Amino acid sequence: MDDVLKTAKRCRHYAMCKIDFLGSGLCRSGAERHYVSFYPQGRMDLYAALAENRIPVTEKCVEIAESCDLCGRCEFQCYFVTEMKPSIVMKALKKHVELHLKNGGQVLTAERDSILDELREVVGEYWATNDRAVALTYSSDPCPIAAPHMPAYVVMPHSTAEISAVIKLLNHYKIPYAVRGNGSSVMGFVMSEGAVIDLGRMKTIDFDEKNWLVRVGPGVAAFDLQKAAVQRGYRVNVAEPSALVCANIMCSGIFSLFSASYGTAADNYTDAEFVGRSGEVFRLNEKSAPNLFAFRREDSAVPGICSSASVRLHPVTSDEGAAFVPFEALEPALDFARECAMRRIGLGIGVLGGEYISVFLSPTKKLADEVKDTIKDKLKIEYLVLVIGDKYALRSIKEMGYNYFDNRLIRTLILGLPSLTSAKWFDLMNELADDEPFSYLGLRRFPDFAEAALAPSPAKLVRSVDAELRPFFEKLYARPEMTDPVWLNMFRIVSSRMGREKHVVAMIIYLPIDNKLITDINSEFKRIADSHGLKNDYGFITPLDQGKRCVFEYDYYLDHNNPDERMKMQQAMMDAGMMIEKYYAETGTVTWIRHVFCQGFSRKESFLYSGTVTDKCQG
């Protein structure tokens, strides 16, 4: 397999090329034509299919190839996340099609189809298609348990009325359908042999500041919503930047580090509009609406299509900052996180693995690998509790006796990462800090010293970046927000780097912050993945509901193009599922996110505390 095809097939479908998260601009053709096929992600799939002779050259295929102006924006975006350089694929696609046309190759015209005609009557000629080139880009994702399905139709409605009409039409012809946001869940939910309804055109964002709300269309991505909210001085609780907000609420409910104070699931919205399965439109706040606040512990079907949601806005103060409190073990980190949650200290709280610094903050895998051991062996950081809060919260952490990396130190650390491995002074820090690990963080002038020692600079940070892209990344890292831990955690643009090496499958559960239970389950997740030979790592834990519960993510990794790893992952997921069920049976307090899927609009209390009640009051 040549490098171009390899690159094309490595696309993780994280949809990061569909948002302008670097401020470098969006792919023009994608922004105009909306189908994923016209974004770099779609072109990667299309090129791979053409190169492997899985589809013919079609009319849309020609349009997709020709509409790429080789601007190179996708290069910056994709490199930032996965270190891939997709422009070789974009060029190869154009070349493939040009050559095909030059050689007088046939261009397949999509067959006329009466159902398609009817769909086009609803959404407009351009926004429904049965072209194979477009359909292909909606046919698969890297999920190891989902088989590809080539949809017969791809439809892009633009309003609630259009969604309703499309649903009625599809129901009439008994055509199954899947609803798609950005498809970034990569859990195989967005494929169908019937129709795929892509909501990417419905990007309305209407602020209702009097009520601290913003009404969001189903095509709005988390990054874009957060950006709009921040411009007005607010914050929203959103998940991965490319995830569409409505789809995300629908799927699992939104959780982030900010869920420690903003909550999750039904806490995030006040109302939502739906198109039901029969095409009827209802709002959640209507008395007659289906009760989506309830939760049933079982695999559920989608109750309808969320066509808008009124999302809560949160205030932001000018004194917010971050505290990264380092720990040598998980248990004390959990104790601290729980205490912060119980005492309502901080807005966002997350127990992160020590690799957060190396994997998330390093611009390249090479640098991440270099600093990984330094962080564990020299800095002795196994876990970090990240607390985002105002100056009073940060002061409280100091008063609790914890030293931490603050905004300034994190900026120094990020921009000085390349100096970390050769920093001999860290050896000494640990040899001498035997009694009080991390006590150096409490020194008043340590930030000055760290700046002298690490000599942080954007130029230094990007030394390991591909030479062609270095000037862009040097400018990028000179922007204050790129080293601002509050901004980075609000917009979450670095978390997708966890999939830089391999595709990630997140195992997510809700459970009490019970140290033994968590460490046991953590060990079990690891044991299962190890037994199948899969790369795996602790993800994060965020306290919920004042620390009474938490959300825990453990990550398994696979090469999604490797059939052997796909099979191993399927087995590992099955084993992990059985393990979670076993803990549920034993404790009644462990909830697998699988059971929350399609019930993300429910009240968090209904799934956090849904276990069988065994302790009854004695009367």
Binding stretches for another protein (CB under 8 A): 424-425, 428, 431-432, 434-436, 439-440, 443-446, 448-449, 451-453, 455
Which residue number, 112 or 445, has a Cβ lying nearer to another protein? 445
Strand 213-216 versus strand 234-235 pairing type: unpaired
What is the DSSP-derived secondary structure letter of residue 192?
Answer: -
Which is closer to another protein, CB of 440 or CB of 601?
440
Q: Which is nearer to another protein, 111 or 435 (CB)?
A: 435
Buried b (16+ CB within 10 A) or exposed e, 135-154: bbbbbbbbbbeeeebbbbbb
Dihedral over alpha carbons 110, 113, 118, 119 (to 10 degrees): -40
CB 387 within 8 A of CB 345: yes
Task: Count CB neighbours of 351 within 10 A.
Answer: 27
Q: How far is the CB of 412 from another protein (least distance, A)?
A: 11
- With contact defined as beta carbons under 8 Å apart, do 531 and 556 qualify? no
Pick 455 or 578: Cβ nearer another protein:
455
Least Cα distance to 205 among 192, 221, 188 occurs for 221
Cα separation of 15 and 186, whole Å?
10
Q: How far is CA 545 from CA 1, 105, 113, 478, 579, in A?
A: 50, 62, 52, 37, 25
291, burial (CB in 10 Å: exposed 0-12, middle 13-18, buried 19+): exposed
Secondary structure (3-state) at 487? helix
Which CB sits closer to another protein, 339 or 451?
451
Q: Shortest Cβ distance from residue 479 to another protein (Å)?
A: 21
CB of 466 to another protein, least distance (A): 24
* Residue ranges with strand state E in 381-483: 383-389
CB of 437 vs another protein, minimal distance in Å: 8
**In angstroms, what is the minimal distance from the CB of 443 to another protein?**
5
Question: In degrees, to the nearest 5, what angle opens at C-alpha 593 toward C-alphas 385 and 81?
Answer: 60
Q: Which is nearer to another protein, 434 or 615 (CB)?
A: 434
Beta carbon of residue 430, minimum distance to another protein (angstroms, whole number): 11
Decide whether 125 or 431 has the Cβ nearer to another protein.
Answer: 431
Shortest spacing between CB 18 and another protein, in angstroms: 40
Q: How far is the CB of 129 from another protein (least distance, A)?
A: 57
- Kindly tell me which of 99 and 455 has the beta carbon lying closer to another protein: 455
